[in-house]
Structure 1
């Protein structure tokens, strides 16, 4: 996703240089890009947490299965 975000930022910079957006639209697009970057960072952190929690529960399941045998 980082590549996609970088592509969007490059395209936005190109449009802004050409004057294709009004000042209000530029401001809105910049805010949206900032929000997208923050959401991407948050998503990555949540994925890490989910991955770690999944590993922990797999271990307890194995332990529980061993205890029941």
Structure 2
């Protein structure tokens, strides 16, 4: 996703260089890019949390052995 974010930033810079962005549009695009970065960070944190939670056993092996006996 970082690649997409950098492409958007590059396109915004190119449009600004050509003078095709009004100040209102540039402010909107900047807000959207900031939101995208925040959502990417949140998504990465959720993925890490999900990965770490799936590795932990739900029941201790001693308890599981006792229940199966």
TM-score, normalization by structure 2:
0.82
Aligned equivalent of 1:26: 26
Q: CA RMSD in A?
A: 1.6
Q: Considering fraction of residues, name the structure with more helix.
A: 1
Highest CA radius of gyration, 1 or 2?
Answer: 2
Gaps of 5+ in 2: none
**Aligned residues between the structures:** 67
What pairs up with 1:47-66 in 2 under 5 angstroms? Answer: 47-56=47-56, 59-60=57-58, 63=61, 65-66=64-65
Gaps of 5+ in 1: none
TM-score, normalization by structure 1:
0.82
Distance 2:66 2:47 in 1: 30
Distance 2:11 2:59 in 1: 48
